[in-house]
């Protein structure tokens, strides 16, 4: 069953002199447990598409259905709650809360969801161990390398068991070793937790790992390839 259904999605930025058609009538859907990469050149509309799937931007037309519910019609405050309970985000620049430790960063979303303390502790430690940072739980972001910070970000996104994870260029700031480590971790967690991962990326290494590769250009889907395992 589809977790996400994107129907005839369009985004036009009309604040500029010439209106920009960032996303131009995209139809696409994602099933539970997918590990998919959206690729395309800069300005092709990857990030805009991801933002609309994540409820960070309202589409000009079309709809985004998550488990059958149209999120493009939700108010901005309802969208915040929707994101809190349904989506995990991984950003290019890690975007951890600098004043919190790795453990506190991972706990953050669970705290917002009012998790029980014991359950939250168990989950946090477990997920940090899964991303190989069991020994760095009390380190602040500035005490961690870029790769380690991104692993904390992945742990944060996954901890509250969202419906799916959106990762916008997650490896763009990482070296090869860190990229490989991160991809292996994400692949493992995708299988273990059966959570859908959707990436927007330029990185060939991500494309190689992805089980489905969607290529977009000029705001349209050019190809959608599901790899045979």
Q: Which of residues 56-85 bind other proteins (CB under 8 A)?
A: 56-57, 77, 80-81, 83-85
Query: Which of 215, 160, 205, 156 is CA-nearest to residue 183?
Result: 205
* Cα four-point dihedral sign 219, 222, 226, 227: negative
Determine which residue in the list 108, 125, 187, 217 makes contact with other proteins, applying CB under 8 A.
Answer: 108
- DSSP letter, residue 56: S
Q: Which of residues 133-162 bind other proteins (CB under 8 A)?
A: 156-157
100 sits near other proteins (criterion: CB under 8 A):
yes
Q: How far is the CB of 181 from other proteins (least distance, A)?
A: 23
**Stretch binding other proteins (CB under 8 A), from 64-72, 94-102, 183-191, 200-208:** 94-102
91 sits near other proteins (criterion: CB under 8 A):
yes
SS3 assignment, position 132: coil
Query: Which of 167, 218, 214 is CA-nearest to residue 195?
Result: 167
Residue 69 tokens, joined = 């519910």
Q: Which of residues 18-57 bind other proteins (CB under 8 A)?
A: 51, 54, 56-57
Q: By C-beta, is 47 or 213 nearer to other proteins?
A: 47
99 sits near other proteins (criterion: CB under 8 A):
yes
Cα 91 to Cα 158: distance, rounded to the nearest angstrom: 13
Determine which residue in the list 2, 67, 95, 180 makes contact with other proteins, applying CB under 8 A.
Answer: 95
Q: By C-beta, is 112 or 222 nearer to other proteins?
A: 112
The number of CA neighbours under 13 Å toward the Cβ of 199 is 29
Do residues 153 and 102 lie in contact, with contact meaning Cβ atoms separated by under 8 Å? no
Q: What is the CA radius of gyration of the chain?
A: 17
**Residues binding other proteins (CB under 8 A):** 51, 54, 56-57, 77, 80-81, 83-85, 87-89, 91, 93, 95, 97-100, 104, 107-109, 111-112, 156-157
């Amino acid at each position: 069953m589809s977790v996400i259904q994107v129907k005839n999605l369009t985004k036009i930025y009309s604040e500029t002199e010439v209106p920009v058609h960032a996303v131009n009538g995209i139809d696409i859907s994602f099933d539970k447990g997918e590990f998919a990469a959206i690729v395309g050149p800069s300005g092709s509309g990857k990030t805009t598409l991801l933002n609309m799937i994540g409820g960070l931007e309202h589409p000009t037309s079309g709809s985004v259905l998550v488990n059958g519910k149209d999120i493009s019609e939700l108010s901005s405050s309802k969208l915040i709650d929707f994101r809190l309970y349904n989506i995990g985000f991984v950003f290019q620049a890690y975007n951890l809360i600098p004043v919190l430790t790795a453990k506190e960063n991972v706990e953050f979303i669970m705290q917002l969801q009012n998790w029980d303390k014991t359950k939250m502790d168990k989950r946090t430690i477990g997920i940090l161990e899964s991303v190989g940072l069991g020994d760095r739980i009390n380190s602040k972001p500035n005490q961690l390398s870029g790769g380690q910070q991104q692993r904390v970000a992945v742990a944060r996104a996954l901890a509250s068991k969202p419906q799916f994870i959106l990762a916008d260029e997650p490896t763009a700031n990482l070296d090869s070793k860190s990229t490989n480590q991160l991809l292996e971790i994400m692949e493992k967690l995708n299988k273990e937790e059966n959570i859908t991962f959707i990436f927007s990326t330029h990185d060939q290494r991500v494309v190689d790992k992805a089980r489905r590769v969607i290529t977009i250009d000029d705001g349209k889907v050019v190809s959608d390839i599901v790899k045979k395992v």
